[in-house]
Amino acid sequence: MSGQPIFILKEGSKRTRGRDAQSNNIMAAKAVAEAVRTTLGPKGMDKMLVDSMGDVTITNDGATILKEMDIEHPAAKMIVEVSKTQDEEVGDGTTSAAVVAGELLKKAEDLIEMDIHPTVIASGYRLAANKAIEIVNGLAKEVKTNDEKLLTSIASTAITGKGAESAKSLLAGIAVKAVTSVVDEIGGKKVVDREQINVVKKVGGRVEDSELINGMIIDKERVHTNMPEVVKDAKILLLNEAIELKDTEVDAEISITSPDQLQLFLDQEEKMIKDLVDKVAKSGANVVFCQKGVDDMAQHFLTKLGLFVVRRVKKSDMEKLSRATGGNLISNFDEISKDDLGYAAVVEEKKISGEPMVFVTGCNNPKSVSILLRGGTDHVIDSVETALEDALRVVGVAIEDQKLVAGGGSPEVEISLRLNEYASTLEGREQLAVRAYAEAFEVIPKTLAENAGLDPIDMLMALRSAHEKGMKTAGLDVFKGEVVDMWKEVVVEPLRVKTQVINAATESAVMILRIDDVIATTKSQGAGGAPGGMPGMGDMGMDM
């Protein structure tokens, strides 16, 4: 048996170990970070992504880019997860999260070359992350939920640099009004449910034609053209039930032997439908939104009664209508009462770009609102939606946490300087890891400068100098090319954007660092891959 090789992996499996595995993973993560780095900041560029179907996406949103890119490398996918989590938790800072994670790994690679063990680096990074959270919390300032000016500045900061920047002030105002309309207080804490803001896109017109509707927009039309187009002082019935006869649960045959019997059968069917319509009319409702179908005969009777009826409304829209109008969702015709009706000042059908839509406005306490987005093309309107989504999320986060920090690379420079001071208090090799962590955070102001065509070294030196003099909110104004007080310029972001970047980037970097063995099962050598069974990064266009 001596010298006999023992195989524990099935044929076709590839294994990369030690320094090679770490180097491979770090290289892949750095490539992902580089792919989105040029999109960072107000002067960041856009990416055009074309999928296998030929559909085009144009964006500079980090999460969108990484989601659309067909990334195969497992370590690279972890960086995509960082950006995705940032998007889900906060809505903004997705590019920053990916760039910082990539830079942390780049600095770690230098330490590994110095024969510092990855677990020591991981330990140092965790110490640095805890200290960084403490530092950034110390920089935070309070925001009141009724401070509309400051909230609008937060929204403007999120929109700056995106395709919708031309209509920044309009969109920021819409975002603030929409979010403040849906704020709830639960257990003494303010909570914003983003799902209660309905965004409807319609191609046509300009971005400046976008508007906020204090109520609901339903992308449907009346079931019959003879129904009134406008109903004022609307009493709204929300039906989960179809206004038509149900099929029986059991199979049954009806034997009709004469024309009289057929007529009686049809008359009975008509009477049953008429009874359903009468129950609706008896409630006093003059507008009906039905989640299911409406029978042709029922349409006739409802039209004669002068009711405004919309059918096949989405379940999510029905729930938002209930919240906006104060009406209850009804599933049984026998239980309809006046107390279940919702109210709106006006319900009307309007044509937007030639397509009919129903507007429900003037609700008493609209806890659901709608935003009508307009734009010249599908790509423009998609870009506007991405920018608005970021603005809605950051305003919501700011209202929930009531804590803000300055933007423009200001917190990152402060974190870097204070972590270097903190590193001096440590003993052992963790000190080197904390210093590397501090340097990694300087990638944000450097990248902001690079993307604006400024000298990154000069700008970083100027920022460090300002912070050492006590200007903790000094950041980079990429339009003027100089260091200014970001708080006075009202370039602000929610605290959670920064804390989430620190936590997500650190955790993913530590996870990738601790991997020293990659075992990949591949069907064939040419199936996807780079040497060692790791899928390649060639389709990312990265020169590695």
403-406: strand order across its sheet: 141-142, 403-406, 492-494
- Name the more confident of 398 and 1: 398
Q: How far apart are CA 253 and CA 408, in angstroms?
A: 75
Bridge partners (DSSP) listed for residue 518: 16
Q: How many Å is the Cα radius of gyration of the chain?
A: 30
- What confidence score (pLDDT) does residue 104 get? 93
Q: Tell me: pLDDT of 272 over 70.
A: yes
pLDDT tens for residues 131-148? 999 999 998 888 887 788
- Name the more confident of 201 and 11: 201
Q: Tell me: pLDDT of 122 over 80.
A: yes
Q: Tell me: pLDDT of 526 over 60.
A: no
pLDDT tens for residues 96-105? 899 999 999 9
Cβ(160)–Cβ(407) below 8 Å: no
- Mean pLDDT, rounded, for 439-449: 91
- What confidence score (pLDDT) does residue 182 get? 83
16, 39, 94, 325: the catalytic one is 94
Amino acid identity of residue 87, one-letter, is D
Query: Can you spell out the DSSP letters for 363-399?
Result: -SS-SSEEEEEEESSHHHHHHHHHHHHHHHHHHHHHH
- Mean pLDDT, rounded, for 287-301: 86
- What confidence score (pLDDT) does residue 461 get? 93
- Max CA pair span of the chain: 102
- What confidence score (pLDDT) does residue 463 get? 92
Q: Tell me: pLDDT of 531 over 90.
A: no
Q: How far apart are CA 201 and CA 390, in angstroms?
A: 16
87, 340, 390, 401: the catalytic one is 390
Q: Tell me: pLDDT of 321 over 80.
A: yes
Q: What percent of the chain has pLDDT over 90?
A: 15
- Name the more confident of 536 and 515: 515
Q: Tell me: pLDDT of 290 over 80.
A: yes
CB proximity list for 258: less than 8 A, separation 6 or greater: none
Cβ(102)–Cβ(79) below 8 Å: yes
- What confidence score (pLDDT) does residue 362 get? 83
Residue 290: its H or E element: strand 287-290
- What is the average pLDDT value for the chain, to the nearest integer? 83
- Confidence at 418, pLDDT banded by 50, 70, 90: very high
With tokens 């040497």, the residue in question is 531
Q: Tell me: pLDDT of 543 over 60.
A: no
152 is catalytic: no
Q: How far apart are CA 221 and CA 357, in angstroms?
A: 6
Cβ(230)–Cβ(347) below 8 Å: yes
With tokens 């400068």, the residue in question is 449
16, 57, 59, 61: the catalytic one is 61
184 is catalytic: no
Token couple for 429: 């090799």
- Coil, helix or strand at residue 68: helix
- What confidence score (pLDDT) does residue 163 get? 65
- 230-239 vs 342-352, strand pairing mode: antiparallel
Q: How far apart are CA 121 and CA 512, in angstroms?
A: 12
Q: What percent of the chain has pLDDT over 70?
A: 88
- Confidence at 525, pLDDT banded by 50, 70, 90: very low
CB proximity list for 22: less than 8 A, separation 6 or greater: 109, 112, 118, 513, 515, 516
- What confidence score (pLDDT) does residue 10 get? 65
- What confidence score (pLDDT) does residue 422 get? 92
- Name the more confident of 276 and 246: 276
455 is catalytic: no
CA angle 294, 297, 300 (to 5 degrees): 95
Closest CA to 420 of 451, 442, 404: 442
- What confidence score (pLDDT) does residue 541 get? 44
- What confidence score (pLDDT) does residue 275 get? 82
94 is catalytic: yes
Within 10 A of 516 (CB to CB), how many other CB atoms are there?
14
CA angle 434, 93, 73 (to 5 degrees): 75
64, 85, 95, 157: the catalytic one is 95
- Name the more confident of 21 and 399: 399
